[in-house]
Amino acid sequence: MSKTKLEGLTFVPFTLSEKPKLIDWLTSDRWDFYENTTPSRDKISSAIDKGEYHGDECRTFWMRDPLTSENVGLIRIYDLLDESAMFDLRVKTANRGTGIGKHAVRWLTAHVFNTYPKIIRIEGQTREDNIAMRKVFRSCGYLKEAHYRACWKNESNEYLDSIGYGILKSDFENGTVTPVRWDDEASIG
């Protein structure tokens, strides 16, 4: 996807009437950095029915190519009734490495903070080996806040580390990054 196309990328709300389209979309690709790299139609259908893609606590958006009207990615933002939201971002294999991830994270960050005044932070998780996503987090003002050792099992039954990133609303508004106080362990003995 070219920069010109990227600038016109649209974010279109998912509606429950699109359930078959979402099932087809999620089962038509491989999601290498997810625990379930090839989700089944039944599992996705059940998740949609449970409100994991749309409801009071969750909103999903298609990332649509403006020239082809193709859905090239998906953003699922959840925990919207809490003060800390989380998100899931998926980009079709053919469109990875084009800058869509960075564009999407910037959009979703602004969308969440501007739409949900109660939310004071957004967080996301990725595997240690998902270097592209880790770079996206950093370039979008997210700070590494957690490193969970050996907690993400891959398809080879190996346990990988999970890395947690977050952004504070105040940092988003001020264009700053407040560091984590990693040195507080000394004060508790």
Q: How much is the pLDDT for 66?
A: 85
Low-confidence ranges of the chain (pLDDT < 70): 1-6, 189
Spatial distance between the Cα atoms of 179 and 111, rounded to a whole number of angstroms:
23
The partner residues of 163 in beta bridges, in order of sequence, read 126, 147
Question: Is 130:120 a contact under the CB 8 Å cutoff?
Answer: no
Spatial distance between the Cα atoms of 138 and 75, rounded to a whole number of angstroms:
18
Among residues 136, 141, 60, the alpha carbon closest in space to that of 101 is found at: 136
Q: How much is the pLDDT for 156?
A: 86
Q: How much is the pLDDT for 35?
A: 81
Question: Is 137:124 a contact under the CB 8 Å cutoff?
Answer: yes
Per the document, the length of the chain is 189
Q: How much is the pLDDT for 46?
A: 96
Q: How much is the pLDDT for 4?
A: 42
Q: Give per-residue pLDDT as tens, 119-135.
A: 999 999 999 999 999 99
Copy the structure tokens of residue 69. 């009207």
pLDDT above 70 coverage of the chain, percent: 96
Instruction: Measure the N-to-C terminal CA separation of the chain; round to a whole number of Å.
Output: 53
Question: Is 62:11 a contact under the CB 8 Å cutoff?
Answer: yes
Domains, the chain, in order of start with CATH, read 3-178 (3.40.630.30)
Copy the structure tokens of residue 10. 């649209």
